[in-house]
Amino acid sequence: MKIARFSFDDAIHYGIVDDDELVVLSGDPMFSGFDTTGERVPLADAVLLAPVIPRSKIVAVGKNYHDHAAEMGGEAPTEPLLFLKPNTSVIGPGDMIVRPKQSQFTSFEGELAVVIGSVAKHVAPERADEVIFGYTIANDVTARDLQQRDGQWARAKGFDTFCPLGPVIETEFDVAGGRIETRRNHEVVQSAPLSDMVHSVADIVAHASAAFTLLPGDVILTGTPAGVGPFVAGDQIEIEVPGIGVLRNSARDA
């Protein structure tokens, strides 16, 4: 089931994607369930928004594909390497990524994102599915020069607009059989099966929940494959995960 958060008639709604229509829900399904209002909105008339705004945090994982760890220098970590992005970094599909004046080297990182659906603490890997609401797509935008200069990642990955999410949440996604592809101006720059992750989604959820209480609406970014690279104003970044959709954002300078 694909869940969208969208704008229509100057209001924000949630809906179930049904071919070329949205079946309008009575509220946020994470908290209100899947009761419908009886209204349908043509998908073409709606503006898709970030499908979730994390109420608490975005937990991200660094160097979670062997090839990416190698291109960044070094081995993949033996346990998930966690960092946080603020929820103010979130934008939706079609929104503009703003390259900050402080950085001369902004980079794309296409990632599968996990949306947490219930309070989770010390979750065993075999129970991870119980706390996952669904999956979406993320771009872990990074000011690479600031990342190297600062020696830690909070500023480099935390600017406003540095976490595009969307286009929808898929509640029944098969991670094991999935793939991810990133395109810069329609040229493929990243492509990998999700099975190439060093640490699985279940292990990441377990590791993160051992450190932080995960709350409904929190998002976990699961790492990016090899091929990360720069983008400049005017570039368009598309990240596709078949079964979820395509997250598409363009960039401008601040």
The model's pLDDT over 72-124, given as tens digits with 9 standing for 90+, comes to: 777 888 999 999 999 999 999 999 999 999 999 999 999 999 999 999 999 99
Count of domains forming the chain: 2
Tokens of 206: 């377990």
* CA angle centred on 192, ends 128 and 71, rounded to 5°: 100
Q: CATH number of the domain at 107, please.
A: 3.90.850.10
Query: Is 44 within a domain?
Result: yes
Phi (first) and psi of residue 172, to 5 degrees: -130, 40
- pLDDT per position as a tens digit, 190-215: 999 999 999 999 999 999 999 999 99
Cross-strand pairs, 239 = 182, 247
Mean residue pLDDT of the chain comes to 97
Query: What pLDDT does residue 120 have?
Result: 97
CA distance 141 to 101: 15
Q: What is the pTM of this model?
A: 0.97
> Residue 99, CB half-sphere, CA atoms under 13 Å: how many?
20
Nearest to 89 by CA among 153, 37, 34, 32: 153
Q: Residue 79 sits in which domain range?
A: 58-253
Are 30 and 90 found together in one domain? no
Residue 66: pLDDT over 90: no
Query: What pLDDT does residue 134 have?
Result: 98
